[in-house]
């Protein structure tokens, strides 16, 4: 059995051969993003495991090491909302000062605390996400490094988004990125990983598949997950036979790497994007109008770059970011 309590709604596929990585695949970290949930349910179904409440340890000869499959935030999924509380969503709840402060209590933080014992043993986290608006798929995490590069060159995406200056969570007053991938990058890693990397570390990434209701991306995302699991040595060919699917076999690519630079803070007033400004990865120049508030105040880009991570008007929160600009760094 695992040396820690298994989080709810996650099952453990334990390899007969334990000389391999600990891999976690999550869907539903945000409860209104369906692609990852459907993908995980597809894997669970093909493996004859519960698709509603995955749980328990299952010994398998087609796993090398340990594979954990399940749902990031079941309570948010139940209400089909980004978060389970009105405080801060799960993917901003991994700030260590909150995790270990018993006076801090909200639903998403409680789920983060439940996931922490798993994440500190995780070598690779693949957290499957989606965007408010239509967008090409992309990968995001904090800092670009060789360990992440070894993974994302096998993911068929045109862009990689990094956040070396922790801008994503700055509007919430956080000093850490506080995402799932950040926590695994900073605190993760098994004994197997220490041998591979020469130190204790994990490698986490969020795979943004496209618009959050667009289930046409599920098959491509599933094949990419299979290729990643093969790439890190977590599964055998028998696993592929069990789920009746083949990996993508994507030739190595080098997507354009960007970093978040500036963002626009939302006012307490209804906002509308200009035509074409509510798509992912829109090239933009300084001074271009992005949209207008109902009271007539216009919003312009403050610098050249890519318009990214636009929040849908109905999901905007006053005082938080409505969009970001990212600049290419590699």
On whether residue 5 sits in a domain, the answer given is no
pLDDT per residue over 70-120, tens digit each? 999 999 999 999 999 998 999 999 999 999 999 999 999 999 999 999 999
- Is 224 found in the same domain as 320? no
Residue 94 is predicted with a pLDDT of 98
> How many structural domains is the chain composed of?
2
Q: Is the pLDDT of residue 166 over 70?
A: yes
The tens digit of pLDDT for each residue in 271-298 reads 999 999 999 999 999 999 999 999 999 9
CATH classification at residue 271: 2.40.50
Among residues 227, 254, 281, the one where a domain terminates is: 254
> Is residue 87 located within the same domain as residue 138?
yes
Please check the confidence at residue 200 and state whether its pLDDT lies above 70: yes
pLDDT of residue 253: 77
CB neighbourhood size of 1 (10 A): 8
Give the CATH number for residue 208: 3.40.630.10
Indicate the DSSP class of residue 217: G
Nearest CA among 170, 160, 177, 206 for reference residue 329: 160
Looking at residue 330, its pLDDT comes to 86
**Pick from 211, 239, 254: which residue ends a domain?**
254
Nearest CA among 259, 234, 258 for reference residue 247 = 234
Residue partners of 110: CB distance under 8 A and separation at least 6: none
**pLDDT score for 2:** 65
DSSP 35-63: HHHHHHHHHHHHTT--SSS--SEEEEEEE
* Structural domain contains residue 201: yes
The closest of 194, 46, 221 to 139, measured between CA atoms, is 221
Among candidate residues 190, 225, 254, the one where a domain is terminated: 254
Q: In this structure, what DSSP letter does residue 151 have?
A: H
Identify which of 13, 81, 5, 76 has the alpha carbon closest to the alpha carbon of residue 50: 13
Q: Is residue 30 part of a domain?
A: yes
Q: Is 215 inside any structural domain? A: yes
Q: What is the pLDDT of residue 39?
A: 97
97 within a domain of the structure (yes/no): yes
pLDDT the model gives residue 80:
94
Nearest to 137 by CA among 162, 156, 154, 163: 156
Domain co-membership, 208 together with 296: no
Distances (CA, A) of 291 to 39, 133, 322: 35, 15, 11
pLDDT at 168 over 50: yes
In percent, how much of the chain has pLDDT > 90? 90
E strands, the chain, in order: 10-27, 57-71, 124-131, 138-141, 159-162, 203-211, 256-265, 271-273, 282-284, 289-293, 298-300, 305-308, 321-328
Query: Do 154 and 269 fall within a single domain?
Result: no
Percent of the chain with pLDDT over 70: 99
Q: Are residues 191 and 116 in the same domain?
A: yes
In terms of domains, do 217 and 153 share one?
yes
Whether the per-residue pLDDT at 3 is higher than 80: the answer is: no
Q: What is the mean pLDDT of the chain?
A: 95
Residue 251 pLDDT more than 90? no
pLDDT, tens digit, 9 for 90 and up, residues 34-76: 999 999 999 999 999 999 999 999 999 999 999 999 999 999 9
Can you give the residue range of the structural domain that contains 307? 260-328
Using an 8 Å Cβ cutoff, are 151 and 205 in contact?
yes
Same domain (yes/no): 69, 120:
yes
Judgement on whether residues 20 and 167 belong to the same structural domain of the protein: yes
- Residue 226 within any structural domain of the chain: yes
Handedness of CA 117, 225, 213, 185 (dihedral sign): positive
pLDDT of 27 above 50? yes
Query: Token pair of 89, please?
Result: 């969503």
Q: How confident is the model at residue 1 (pLDDT cuts 50, 70, 90)?
A: very low
Shared domain for 235 and 282, answered yes or no, is no
Please say if the pLDDT value at position 181 is more than 90.
Answer: yes
Examine residue 1 and state whether it is found in any structural domain, yes or no.
Answer: no
Work out whether the CA dihedral 98, 75, 72, 129 comes out positive or negative. Answer: negative
233, 119: one domain: yes
């Amino acid at each position: 059995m695992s040396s820690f309590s298994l989080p709810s709604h996650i099952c453990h596929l334990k390899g007969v051969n334990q000389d391999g990585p600990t891999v976690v695949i999550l869907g539903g970290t945000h409860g209104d993003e369906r692609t990852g949930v459907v993908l995980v349910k597809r894997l669970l179904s093909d493996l004859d495991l519960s698709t509603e409440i995955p749980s328990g340890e299952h010994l398998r000869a087609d796993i090398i090491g340990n594979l954990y499959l399940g749902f990031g935030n079941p309570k948010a999924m139940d209400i089909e909302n980004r978060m389970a509380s009105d405080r801060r969503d799960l993917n901003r709840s991994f700030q260590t000062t909150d995790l270990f402060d018993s006076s801090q209590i909200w639903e998403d933080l409680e789920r983060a605390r439940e996931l922490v014992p798993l994440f500190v043993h995780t070598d690779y986290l693949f957290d499957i996400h989606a965007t408010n608006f239509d967008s090409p798929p992309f990968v995001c995490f904090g800092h670009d490094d060789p360990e992440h590069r070894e993974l994302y060159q096998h993911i068929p995406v045109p862009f990689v988004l990094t956040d070396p200056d922790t801008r994503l969570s700055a509007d919430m007053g956080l000093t850490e990125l506080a995402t799932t991938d950040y926590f695994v990058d900073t605190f993760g890693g098994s004994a197997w990983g220490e041998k591979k990397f020469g130190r204790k570390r994990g490698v986490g990434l969020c795979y943004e598949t496209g618009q959050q209701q667009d289930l046409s991306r599920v098959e491509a995302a599933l094949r990419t997950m299979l290729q990643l699991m093969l790439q890190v040595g977590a599964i055998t060919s028998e696993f592929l036979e069990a789920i009746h699917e083949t990996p993508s076999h994507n030739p190595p690519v080098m997507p354009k790497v960007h970093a978040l630079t500036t963002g626009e803070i939302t006012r307490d007033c209804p906002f509308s994007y200009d035509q074409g400004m509510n798509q992912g990865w829109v090239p933009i120049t300084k001074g271009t109008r992005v949209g207008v508030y109902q009271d007539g105040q216009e919003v312009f880009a403050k610098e050249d770059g890519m318009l990214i991570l636009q929040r849908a008007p109905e999901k905007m929160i006053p005082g938080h970011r409505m969009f970001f600009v990212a600049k290419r760094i590699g």
